[in-house]
Amino acid sequence: MKPQSARVPVEQRPCRNVSNEALRQKSCSGEKIGTRRDSRDERGNTPRTVGDAPQVCAKLFTYKKDGLQALTPAARLVALGLLLAAAGCQAWRRFPLPHDHPPAAYDEATFARKSFASFKITARNGTPVDTVIGKAGTYRVREGDTFLDIARYYDLGYNEIVDANPSVDPWVPPVGTTIVLPTEWILPCCSYEGLVVNIPEMRLYLYRRTPGDARTLIVDTLPVGLGRDDRRTPRGRFTVRGKSVNPTWIIPQSIRAEHIEETGDTRTKIPGGDPDNPLGKYRLELTLPRYTIHGTNIPWGVGMQVSHGCARLYPEDIERLFPLVPIGTRGEFTYQAVKVGTRGGATYAEVHRDIYRYVPQLRRAAQAALKRRGLGEQIDETALARALQEERGIPVRVSRRRGIAAMLRTAN
């Protein structure tokens, strides 16, 4: 989480109607959400900001059940159709459409009904033919919105929506602002089996085979929260060795000492179902010692570096993932700040912040990724350099656009 540049005066009244009870209690009691260091500080740039919850809780977490206002869904579709017809087919191809209508209110019931990113893609010998999935969308900010709830509703990590919209205040986004929903991803290279968690991206991918259909691969992708800088999520391969519902948290001695020092909490374990249990309702136990994939009692931590190294998912996401992952599933925590892939013959690059500062040169990482995929030729160096500089976590086309003559020669 990044430090905030513009502080919002605290209003002397309690927070109301916060969608997540744990967040309301923590933020309104004055406890900091935590900060995430922007790796670009070392390059001389001013960090982008996300702020501290206590500074803005009174303003930010009072949601108005104002619905969608103005137009009905049918009227909006008619208006959109007229707009696109007037603009012509070229505008149709460029126009980024929202995924669906926003909810009337953000609450746990709404989040439980949200959509999840799942794709059926064509594979050849177990390898995807195209490695870019999804489609970016847009969202128009309503009164009371924050990036926390927008991200959760569209199943994004907080990091993803902040990085995709660097010029927008994540705590008090201006009403009416159109923001990017970064719901398009390049698959991490080059394992397409079981669970893959890309650490800089803070996103999990689950690959499943379609029974009786070797040419179809199902990909589910979900955001995660990972280890803070002093307790980094490790790289490495693992196997799912167990699964548990309402797991009891046996507090490791090092974490217990931290709790005693910070809060005076001397407990050695927290039973399943307790609101203070950070594991949530479901847990996947891994062969990596001390590390698991689990839910959370604090959903705002998804897309942030706030854990002691484990991967945390939104409660509704781990509930969906849990039955899809049998014991024995193989997986990997990988570290790919730069991903490259293809769709429709074009090459794309997706660049994320180097959160643990493992990558001294992103340019060199990009060249290695292109070589690994066999995509080093015909690259638009200007487009690639821009993607590396911006680090927005959005797939950007970096292959040169072929002229009509070259396309005709290929066709013949």
pLDDT in tens, 181-222: 999 999 999 999 999 999 999 999 999 998 889 899 999 999
Which residue numbers in the chain have pLDDT < 70? Answer: 1-101, 402-412
**What's residue 44's pLDDT?**
39
Mean pLDDT of the chain: 79
CA distance 142 to 182: 18
Rg (CA), the chain: 22
**What's residue 350's pLDDT?**
98
310 an active-site residue? yes
**What's residue 262's pLDDT?**
81
**Strand ranges (DSSP E) for 125-183?**
127-128, 132-134, 137-140, 178-181
What pLDDT, in 10s, does the model give residues 45-69?
333 433 333 333 333 333 333 333 3
The alpha carbon torsion through 287, 289, 292, 297 (nearest 10 deg) reads 160
**What's residue 377's pLDDT?**
82
**What's residue 291's pLDDT?**
96
28 prior amide bond cis, ω within 30:
no
Give me the residues paired with residue 204 across strands.
197, 222
Residue in 99, 189, 294, 352 annotated catalytic:
294
| Tokens at 301, concatenated | 């931590």
The SS3 call for residue 167 is coil
**What's residue 403's pLDDT?**
55
**Parallel, antiparallel, or unpaired: how do β-strands 137-140 and 117-124 relate?**
unpaired
CA distance 367 to 370: 5
CA distance 324 to 64: 36
294 an active-site residue? yes
Residue in 15, 57, 310, 352 annotated catalytic:
310
Please give the backbone phi and psi of residue 210, each rounded to the nearest 5 degrees, phi first: -90, 120
> The pTM is what?
0.76
